[in-house]
Copies of this chain bind each other. A is one copy, B any other.
Amino acid sequence: MPVFQELPLLGTERINRAYLRISVMAPELAEKCRPGMFFELKAGLPSQTRRLFKPISVFEASEGKISFLIKVVGPGTRALAELKPGEPLLLLGPLGNSFHLVKGQNALLVSGGIGYPPLAWLKRVLEPHNRVILVHGGSCAEDLFPCDRGYTLDGSSGDRGLVTQDIMDIIKTENIDIVYSCGPLPMLKALQACVGDLPHYASLEAYMACGLGACHGCAVPVGEGWQRVCKDGPVFAASLIRWEEL
């Protein structure tokens, strides 16, 4: 059951140039978080009064603290970057479902861009019970974060190219049993093409308004009709997603 709260920002930290990491202390909320879940966030600044909340994945929830890793792309995320410690952060959540957890498997985690935070956390959660490989891609060095294999479009860090380019190889050589993914749609689509019949859980993105399942704004083609990323997702079994419509 999601909660709406206004909490003082604990800390804010610039990472690379375009990213920031922010956190709040919220033991009860942190308890409820699982990898894949997200919050609708908004900076408690006058400029944001009439603006929408923005969906942001939980990057880490431990010891009562919840933190988020955010890329500044537009007005909403820019305002989050302006928020100073002690100023109010508005949170609605935790929202959505979470990744299906397994044991004793070889798990491949594939993230692109701002798909990184939920998989980074998933990795830490899976690792005690599984062998986990996290590959991550972005457009330049700025977009790279700690992972087992990194890719950049411009080759400025890690391997040059797409995060999906070596997936077939990795699946074979590492004997992968299960795939988890989060990132931009074209990446997920290309990934699903490589994954074949392996179990694959993909976390999808969508523009959101309510975050609660009320407005049907975040619909994606899953199963027979549309499913709501905010309420039915964000994690879907990749086999149920109608990829050709994305």
Chain A residues at the B interface, C-beta cutoff of 8 Å: 46-47
| Interface of A (DSSP majority class) | helix
- In angstroms, how far is the closest chain B Cβ from the Cβ of A69? 24
Copies in the complex: 2
Q: Could you list 2 examples of A-B contacts with CB < 8 Å? A: A46-B47, A47-B47
Whole-angstrom CA separation of A112 from B46 in the bound complex: 31
- Cβ contacts under 8 Å, A46 to chain B: 47
Closest to A79 in B: B46
- In angstroms, how far is the closest chain B Cβ from the Cβ of A84? 14
- In angstroms, how far is the closest chain B Cβ from the Cβ of A245? 37
Closest to A46 in B: B47
Q: What 2 A-B pairs have minimum CB-CB distances, sorted nearest first?
A: A47-B47, A46-B47
Whole-angstrom CA separation of A46 from B47 in the bound complex: 8
- Cβ contacts under 8 Å, A47 to chain B: 46-47
Whole-angstrom CA separation of A47 from B47 in the bound complex: 6
Whole-angstrom CA separation of A46 from B75 in the bound complex: 11
- In angstroms, how far is the closest chain B Cβ from the Cβ of A120? 32
Whole-angstrom CA separation of A47 from B51 in the bound complex: 12
- In angstroms, how far is the closest chain B Cβ from the Cβ of A72? 14
